[in-house]
Structure 1
Amino acid sequence: MTENERAARTLKHVLQKPGNGSCADCGADNPECGSCSLGVFICLSCSGVHRSIPDLGKVKLLRLSHWEDSEVQFMSERGNDAMNAVYEAALPVYYYKPTHRDCQVLKEQWIRVKYERQEFMENGKKLIYEDESRDGMLMKRGRDNGQFLNRRFILSLRDGTLKYYTKLDAKEPKAVIKVDTINACFQPDKIGNPNGLQITYLRDNITRNIFIYHDSSRERAFIMQCDISKLNRITENNVGLQTEGFKKRWFTLDHRRLMYFRDPLDAFAKGEVFLGHRDHGYHVTIGLPAGTHYNGTWQYGITIETPDRSFLFTCETDMEQKDWMSHFNAVMNTRMSPQEYTVEAYFKHKH
């Protein structure tokens, strides 16, 4: 048996130990790589982030790379459970730990916080996420001109608000946003910046979007302090909507609010549909009613029925249709909270 065959056999045995069968950072099954710097098994996606960090850059493929006996021994003495117990020892309960389904920028932030900055190794360590207030400059997209300009943001735990000002020395804020109405979602591709965030919030029961970024990845924590549990609830894509005929619109599903826009970076939606529980007359089915005329090439229909009316949509592909159906069904199968009954009542009164 050659040295590399012996190493491969030993690594295969080590992978069978509890915790090693999934990525140490995102939980993806069957990790393809090992970090010789940390002694953890990781997936290909996370390995790219590890390689970009100088002190963590020694990563090898489990099957194709040549492994020294000393490296195999290093991996066998450590492993995912043991090292996560060290690097996540003081992980706050509110901090969102990404999964393999999350975007790459969120996984990168997690890996850098966990290993490069080692923020969760010490109990009692003061974290920037736990500051009671934060005051700083972020780039915000203008609602009308589409330009990103420097704006001052103040996040206050005591007041439960996020305020922004058009000038550094402005006396009055341009907007005061209640934190409990905020949903924050990473949108690097949409905004054109790796640290881009979309903040969705309610103002007078109307959904508003603002788009911000900061050149430093560390400043993303500014907004993530608001409520890390609200990350990644937004699902988006182009969908055809039937008004008089089918028109292409950008759709955003923010929990129970299905909104559509002319442009993905619009501040306000052209329209909204409330999605309640199926016991209250909300249903979604694949396909469109008989006799519906398509005026385009998108043939994958979806019909949403509410107590008041039906909404007809078409998707470009079968995969997109199934993805939207999955999200719609998940929402309609979830029991409504008292606050959501209030929102439903507002929608019924509005329409």
Structure 2
Amino acid sequence: MDDKLKERLKELIRNPDNSTCADCGSPDPQWASVNLTVFVCIVCAGVHRSLGVHISRVKSVNLDSWKETEVAGMEQTNNIKENRNKWEATLPQDFIKPSFGDSIGLKEQWIIVKYMNKAFTPFDYVDSTLKRINLDTKEGWIVKKGDVVKSWKKRWLRLIDSESLQYFKTPYDTKPCGTIHLRDSGQVDSVSEVDSKPFCFIISTPKRRYLISCSTGEEMFKWIQLIRFSVHKLNNSNNSIGNYNNLLNNNSNGNNISSNGSHDS
């Protein structure tokens, strides 16, 4: 690659607006998606690459050869501008973005929702592949691993007033099998496949870890976001929900689970 192009690329990554990964905030990104015009870290670059070149064309700033047109395209924008004006233009104000300390599984679903589904592009953005994500839905089927009886059971999970999660045998039951209070929980993140169950996430409390499996990666991503926001909201009482709720979305964050005297819990 031409030395002048190398220097222009180095100048781009020295720009403070490109100083962190566009997707997870990891410092000093050394990779880029050429067609999406964002700089990303090596972990997120791996996720981008897995989507295929029809979604994201990934190059190393230092190891790959760049064309003049590619460098020029990156010079027209920066990570902050691309996120603000396009990829995260309609992200809810209180949305909790995955950070560099989160699991690869969560980052993967975030990147899929953000770039493949184009879920948070401007509301006037027109694309046949666009798929908005609806975070208003606060209940649905999951599969949960029991505490006493170590088996997986299908349960109807419901977020109650952003303060607790309750799970039922059916959507019509009034008495829950268990209740998850959302103020004191710790880790809420995706985990690798457990017992051949896909799209699993964990809710950690001082007493135990709760394993939940979802039918799709998007469902897992939505539940993690809802639970995380609920926890954050409970621990920051002055936090307010953004206007995006009126258009499409709402968010949450979750914590601690207490059983209701059932072996299912």
Provide TM-score, normalisation by structure 1.
0.56
Give the distance between the partners of 1:185 and 1:162, measured in 2 at CA. 13
For the 8 Å contact 1:161–1:178, the answer to whether it is kept is yes
Q: Which runs of 5+ in 1 are unaligned?
A: 232-254, 258-266, 269-351
Aligned to 1:76: 75
Q: How far apart are residue 226 of structure 1 and its match? A: 3.1
Would you say how many aligned residue pairs link Structure 1 and Structure 2?
226
The residue type equivalent to 2:168 in the other structure is Y
Secondary structure at 1:225's aligned position in 2? helix
For the 8 Å contact 2:188–2:227, the answer to whether it is kept is no
Q: 1:223 to 1:36 in 2, by over 3 A?
A: closer
Alignment of 1:91 onto 2:91: yes
Alignment of 1:25-104 (within 5 A): 25-54=23-52, 55-86=54-85, 87-104=87-104
Give the distance between the partners of 2:13 and 2:190, measured in 1 at CA. 35
Give the distance between the partners of 1:181 and 1:37, measured in 2 at CA. 42
Q: How far apart are residue 127 of structure 1 and its match? A: 4.8
Give the distance between the partners of 1:230 and 1:114, measured in 2 at CA. 23
Q: How far apart are residue 115 of structure 1 and its match? A: 1.8
Alignment of 1:270-281 (within 5 A): none
Q: 1:173 to 1:49 in 2, by over 3 A?
A: same
CA displacement, residues 136-169 of structure 1 (integer Å, 9 cap, x when unaligned): 2111102223122221212243x84422123466
Aligned to 1:213: 213
Secondary structure at 1:52's aligned position in 2? helix
Q: How far apart are residue 52 of structure 1 and its match? A: 1.8
Secondary structure at 1:23's aligned position in 2? coil
Give the distance between the partners of 1:126 and 1:58, measured in 2 at CA. 23
Alignment of 1:1-351 (within 5 A): 3-54=1-52, 55-86=54-85, 87-122=87-122, 127-129=133-135, 131=136, 133-157=137-161, 160-167=163-170, 170=173, 172-180=175-183, 182-183=185-186, 185-189=188-192, 191=194, 195-200=199-204, 207=207, 209-220=209-220, 221-228=222-229, 230=231
Secondary structure at 1:56's aligned position in 2? coil
Secondary structure at 2:43's aligned position in 1? helix
Give the distance between the partners of 1:147 and 1:106, measured in 2 at CA. 24
The residue type equivalent to 2:200 in the other structure is G
4+ runs deviating over 6 angstroms? none
Q: CA RMSD in A?
A: 3.2
Give the distance between the partners of 1:101 and 1:123, measured in 2 at CA. 30
Q: How far apart are residue 77 of structure 1 and its match? A: 1.1
- Highest CA radius of gyration, 1 or 2? 1
Give the distance between the partners of 2:31 and 2:171, measured in 1 at CA. 47
CA displacement, residues 214-239 of structure 1 (integer Å, 9 cap, x when unaligned): 141111213531342748xxxxxxxx
Q: How far apart are residue 80 of structure 1 and its match? A: 1.1
Identity, in percent, stands at 29
Q: 1:185 to 1:71 in 2, by over 3 A?
A: same
CA displacement, residues 258-295 of structure 1 (integer Å, 9 cap, x when unaligned): xxxxxxxxx99xxxxxxxxxxxxxxxxxxxxxxxxxxx
Q: 1:200 to 1:188 in 2, by over 3 A?
A: closer
For the 8 Å contact 1:28–1:43, the answer to whether it is kept is yes
For the 8 Å contact 2:186–2:203, the answer to whether it is kept is yes
Secondary structure at 1:109's aligned position in 2? helix
Secondary structure at 2:153's aligned position in 1? strand
Which has the larger strand fraction? 1
Give the distance between the partners of 1:109 and 1:97, measured in 2 at CA. 11
Q: Which runs of 5+ in 2 are unaligned?
A: 125-130, 233-254, 257-263
Secondary structure at 1:46's aligned position in 2? helix
For the 8 Å contact 1:140–1:149, the answer to whether it is kept is yes
Give the distance between the partners of 2:23 and 2:42, measured in 1 at CA. 11
Give the distance between the partners of 1:187 and 1:14, measured in 2 at CA. 33
